[in-house]
Amino acid sequence: AQSVTQLGSHVSVSEGALVLLRCNYSSSVPPYLFWYVQYPNQGLQLLLKYTTGATLVKGINGFEAEFKKSETSFHLTKPSAHMSDAAEYFCAVNLGGFKTIFGAGTRLFVKA
Amino acid sequence: KAGVTQTPRYLIKTRGQQVTLSCSPISGHRSVSWYQQTPGQGLQFLFEYFSETQRNKGNFPGRFSGRQFSNSRSEMNVSTLELGDSALYLCASSLGLAGGSYEQYFGPGTRLTVT
């Protein structure tokens, strides 16, 4: 069965520091992978997606993620954190069907 | 294009009552999925509709039901409300076609409080 694991329910970084949010998935077929962001009292917004092709994917707001098949990972990074990045981030996987599985989420705190 | 809209945004109900939530997808999207989000359980998949047919269903009791209309708008209904049904209910739309990228676009959610 497919599953998504996000390591760390809370991550805290200083403004200007590297952001690294970890996501591992389990899948027996090539997955479609997504990162979504949720700001308080809002729905989820798509940050970036991996379908096929280039394994390094660039998204909005300076975020990027790298698909590593051998490690079954899809970690999200941003070189320099901004205060506005404080939010909850969700990794999600779809196996080419019509059901997307979401991870438990990682809340990012950015310290001034 | 207009985004996904959900009505109402906030709702307070009493135990035992029933509630209907509405979702209008992005124009051209034929798939609508519903999720329940709570602090303890995270995002839980409720069901997904495509062209008025339920294609997938999560592990929720029969009190939770939904439907989709010919214009792709969707409603979900919760009967005999329980305190544990208090949650943010999110609707997401997508093209829903096989071979697509399966990304979803979410509405702002309906915050349901059951007292």
C-alpha distance from A17 to closest chain B C-alpha (Å): 27
Residue A112, pLDDT > 90, answer yes
pLDDT in tens, A42-72: 899 999 999 888 889 999 999 999 999 899 9
Site from B102, B104, B113 to mutate, A interface, most A CB atoms within 10 angstroms: B102
Q: Give yes or no for residue A1 having a pLDDT over 70.
A: no
- Mutate which of B31, B34, B43 to test chain A, going by most A C-beta atoms within 10 A? B43
Q: At CA A84, angle to CA A81 and CA A88, rounded to 5?
A: 85
Q: Do A42 and B90 touch (CB under 8 A)?
A: no
Which residue in chain A has the smallest CA separation from B87?
A: A41
Q: Does B105 touch chain A (CB under 8 A)?
A: yes
In the three-class reduction of DSSP (H, G, I as helix; E, B as strand; rest coil), residue A62 is classed as helix
Question: Which stretches in chain B have pLDDT values below 50?
Answer: none
Q: Which two tokens stand for residue A67?
A: 């698909």
Are the C-beta atoms of residues B30 and A72 closer than 8 Å to each other? no
What's the pLDDT tens digit per position in A93-109?
Answer: 987 777 888 999 999 99
Per-residue DSSP letter, B27: T
Supply the mean pLDDT for chain A: 92
Cβ contact B66:B34 at 8 Å = yes
B 10-39: CB under 8 A from A:
31, 33, 35
